[in-house]
Amino acid sequence: MLTLKEVRQNPFVLKFLKESKHTLQTASYTDHGLNHAELVAKRSRLLAENFKLPETEQEMCAIAGFTHDFGNFLGRENHDLAGAMLFQNIFKDNFNPNELTAIMKAISDHDGYELKLSSPISAIVILADKSDTRRERVLEKNITAIKSDIHSRVNYAVTGNRLKIDKKRVTLILKIDTNFVPVMEFFEIFTNRMVYCRKAAECLDCSFALIINGFKLL
């Protein structure tokens, strides 16, 4: 099986991530390129280590975390399914059927809010991905444009982001500039994501908590 280091060096993966960032930046989305991929891969590995997944599965979590969004250059709609098929097309000779299926499923599951999760690898990638809300993901530089777009505005307001992990609970701890965005506006955008994090945590036999500015909200 390939390692994340090897997957990360694949020219197709890097090109797909670069084009995904450009495509979504043009459409005024937040960063879905290399920076986001690196953070999700890192958090996926940390989560997998915490929940004592075998080392092979830890590597699979990191790989799925790194590649989960690289289908966005084909379009935002169904980018999760496109990404899974792209991964299969590139790496079908580098993983056994069980490994390839699990990674493809994690890529496909990461945006499937209606799904009932059955794979711990999928659950870990979801927690790593959906917890990544922060000012640095906003690609727009014009503050007026940021304020006029709710997704950019809410991400820009997040000045602190930490994921606390233990065996019984995963806690997302955020610091939000409430002079820029009220907490309720955060919920307007991220409620579905936080509920999906809760479902992912349940798949791992633990709970999910959200703390904003020192107050526990979930």
pLDDT digits 0-9 by tens, 24-78: 999 889 999 999 999 999 999 999 999 999 999 999 999 999 999 999 999 988 9
Residue ranges per structural domain of the chain: 4-216
The tokens for 164 are: 């606390």
CATH superfamily of 4-216: Hypothetical protein af1432 (1.10.3210.10)
Find residue 208's DSSP bridge partners: 170
CA atoms within 13 A on the CB side of 68: 35
Q: The tokens 């690609």 sit on which residue? A: 139
* pLDDT interval class at 112 (50, 70, 90): confident
CA distance 48 to 125: 9
Task: Specify the pTM.
Answer: 0.95
